[in-house]
Amino acid sequence: MKIRRQTGLLIEPPGVATGDIAFNLIVFFLVCASTQPDSGRKQNLPKSEQTQQQQEKSENLQIDLTRTLVQINGEPVKMKDFIPLVKAKLSGKSRPEDKVVVVKSKKDVPYNHWIAVTTRIEEAGGIVTLQIEEEQQQIVP
Amino acid sequence: MKLSRKKLKVEVPSVAMGDIAFNLLVFFVILARAQDDRHLQWTPARARSIESAAPAAVRIAIDKNNDLFFNGMKTSVGQLKDLITQRLGDLPAGKRTVWLKVHDETAALRFEPVIEAISSAGGELVHILDEDKE
């Protein structure tokens, strides 16, 4: 009969590589976590002084935005008809200053609606310009 | 009789290398987060045909609580133009990209003055959006 010899030694897994494993895990999770959006739309806005001069020289399209509505020169327009209408109104205008489209928004217009409209203006060949109402503070004595 | 001396092996202990790397990484992550806006909570608006944005010189964000951030630091619209001008300095055109992240429900009253400040500071505005695939 063969008797097995017992050594009584503890066998431990090597722990030297634990740090490296932790390091690699962290790198992995960092890469996974950094999936923030990094794409979008470039928008060139003419400087306000230039816009004022341009408005004096030529009649530009004016888009009025409310929370749900879009108006071109005061006339309500459906979103599906928006691009063809703007294209039609801009046709025949070759100078960049004539292609300026003035966007005037009500205070409560949400960003997603604003982006949808300004994106369509640019797709139609227009140059977006904002008309912002200046707030005036009056101190009552 | 000459006794030969036992040579001792001297090695730099490398067991702690992993821990050192780990701590360095944590340090740099914390340092990077101070100028980052990834911790902000916002929902991007959707738009058709978006493209990959150029690297940002400045990142501006309006989160879902309507708070305004300049490179991850909370700020106000009044200070924004000066902050952008200072940051962009004399950078040439093409390197003056300003990323604008706006929560999709933010009202015009809040985001339009921000756009105006970017424009008047000479920033090249890029709206960060999600692609509308419908």
Examine the pLDDT at A50 and tell me if it is beyond 70.
Answer: no
Q: What does the pLDDT average to over A112-125?
A: 90
Could you tell me the residue ranges of all domains in chain A?
48-130
Cα separation, B49 vs B46, in Å, equals: 10
Instruction: Give the pLDDT band of residue A52 (cuts 50, 70, 90).
Output: low
Q: Mutate which of B126, B130, B133 to disrupt the A interface (most A C-beta within 10 Å)? A: B126
How distant is the alpha carbon of residue A36 from its chain centre?
13
Cα separation, A34 vs A29, in Å, equals: 9
The pLDDT, as a whole number, for residue A27 is 76
B47 to A23: CB separation less than 8 angstroms, yes or no: no
Radius of gyration of chain A (CA): 31
Beta strands per DSSP E along A7-80: 39-43, 61-65, 70-72, 75-76
The pLDDT, as a whole number, for residue B108 is 92
Digit-coded pLDDT (tens) for A54-98: 555 557 889 999 988 899 988 899 988 899 999 998 888 888 888
SS3 state of residue B100: strand
Q: Which value does ipTM take for this structure?
A: 0.75
Closest CA to A45 of B84, B94, B118: B118
User: Is there a contact between A40 and B53 (Cβ–Cβ < 8 Å)?
Assistant: yes
Q: How would you class B114 by CB atoms within 10 Å of its CB: exposed for 0-12, middle for 13-18, buried for 19 or more?
A: buried
Q: Tell me phi and psi for residue A5, to 5 degrees.
A: -90, 130
**CATH-assigned architecture of domain A48-130:** 2-Layer Sandwich (3.30)
Digit-coded pLDDT (tens) for B62-118: 999 999 999 888 999 999 999 999 999 989 988 899 999 999 999 999 999 999 999
Q: What does the pLDDT average to over B13-42?
A: 74
The pLDDT, as a whole number, for residue B41 is 86
Instruction: Give the pLDDT band of residue A135 (cuts 50, 70, 90).
Output: low
Which residues in A lie closer than 8 A to residue B115 (C-beta atoms)?
Answer: 45, 130
The pLDDT, as a whole number, for residue B83 is 93
Beta strands per DSSP E along chain B: 46-47, 51-52, 58-62, 68-70, 73-75, 97-102, 124-128, 130-131
Examine the pLDDT at A119 and tell me if it is beyond 50.
Answer: yes
Per CATH, the number for B46-131 is: 3.30.420
Instruction: Give the pLDDT band of residue A7 (cuts 50, 70, 90).
Output: low
The pLDDT, as a whole number, for residue A6 is 62
Cα separation, A84 vs A86, in Å, equals: 6
Going from the C-alpha of A1 to that of each of A4, A6, A74, the distances in angstroms are 10, 16, 106
SS3 state of residue A60: coil
A119 to B104: CB separation less than 8 angstroms, yes or no: no
A111 to B113: CB separation less than 8 angstroms, yes or no: no
A23 to B45: CB separation less than 8 angstroms, yes or no: no
- Determine the Cα angle at B87 with ends B82 and B90, to 5°: 105
Examine the pLDDT at B10 and tell me if it is beyond 70.
Answer: yes
Instruction: Give the pLDDT band of residue A136 (cuts 50, 70, 90).
Output: very low
